[in-house]
Amino acid sequence: MTFSRFCTLVFVVAAILFLISLFLINAYGALQTEYKIAKFWDPNAGTLDEFDERLGYCFHSNYYGCGVQAVQIGLDYLNVKPLPTQRQLADELGAKDTWVHHDNLHKPFKSRGFKVIQQGGIGNNFNTALKRLKGYIAQDFLVIVCAYLNDEKKMGSYYVVTGYDENGVWVHGNKPNMYYPNSKFSELWRYQKYWVLVVKP
């Protein structure tokens, strides 16, 4: 190998490593200690309402369940028009007694042409999973997580993640923008091994 070819190879490898480092910083949100997805915090966007007739959803609907609710909030975030009702989504998701299986949650997004980036566990431990989750949120991706509903750990629930800071995360659940400190979120999110559904806008 000539010296010029060697220099070219070194330059190419350095450039590739530099691009990879930029990607990792972007993907894992390494430079941001706090981020909120703007639409979920906009009082005029409709996503903060306990019940909005225009959108046709309510938080923690007892009839259709958290999975249908999370998907509908997600579709609204993605500007789907007209927004399907919870009854329509329950049929699309094959919901049974308000219960939606993980394997079906992506269907309303894929059928409308959205790209599902991730479906399943995103880490073997909380720190790894949280870093990846923050990376998705920092790119304004729609992120739905499955976690325990409360400390009793008897029932799982779907939440739409709306932001994070150094000490915890915000989610739309049975109320808008509920805050969970990392210590609490870690306990609840272990359910289903840090499961997420990530959709690219």
Question: For residue 133, what is the domain's CATH number?
Answer: 3.90.70.10
| pLDDT of amino acid 160 | 94
CA distances to 73, 128, 146 from 66, rounded to whole Å, are: 10, 26, 10
On whether both 13 and 99 belong to a single domain, the answer is no
| pLDDT of amino acid 66 | 82
| pLDDT of amino acid 42 | 80
On whether both 18 and 117 belong to a single domain, the answer is no
On whether both 61 and 128 belong to a single domain, the answer is yes
Q: Phi/psi class of residue 157: alpha, beta or left (left: φ > 0; alpha: ψ in -120 to 50)?
A: beta
Between helix 86-93 and helix 65-77 the angle, nearest 10°, is 110
On whether both 47 and 61 belong to a single domain, the answer is yes
On whether both 36 and 23 belong to a single domain, the answer is no
Strands 57-58 and 168-172: unpaired
| pLDDT of amino acid 69 | 86
Mind listing the pLDDT tens digit for each residue in 153-201? 566 789 999 999 999 999 987 778 889 999 999 989 987 789 999 999 9
The pTM score is: 0.78
On whether both 21 and 62 belong to a single domain, the answer is no
Q: What is the number of domains present in the chain?
A: 2
pLDDT at residue 46 tops 70: no
pLDDT at residue 111 tops 80: yes
On whether both 19 and 55 belong to a single domain, the answer is no
On whether both 142 and 44 belong to a single domain, the answer is yes
On whether both 97 and 65 belong to a single domain, the answer is yes
Tokens of 66: 């958290």
On whether both 13 and 75 belong to a single domain, the answer is no
On whether both 51 and 124 belong to a single domain, the answer is yes
Structural domain of residue 72, as residue ranges? 32-200
Q: Give yes or no for a cis peptide into 181 (omega within 30° of 0).
A: no
On whether both 7 and 49 belong to a single domain, the answer is no
Mind listing the pLDDT tens digit for each residue in 6-40? 556 555 555 564 444 445 444 444 547 999 999 88
Mind listing the pLDDT tens digit for each residue in 94-103? 887 667 888 8
| pLDDT of amino acid 31 | 46
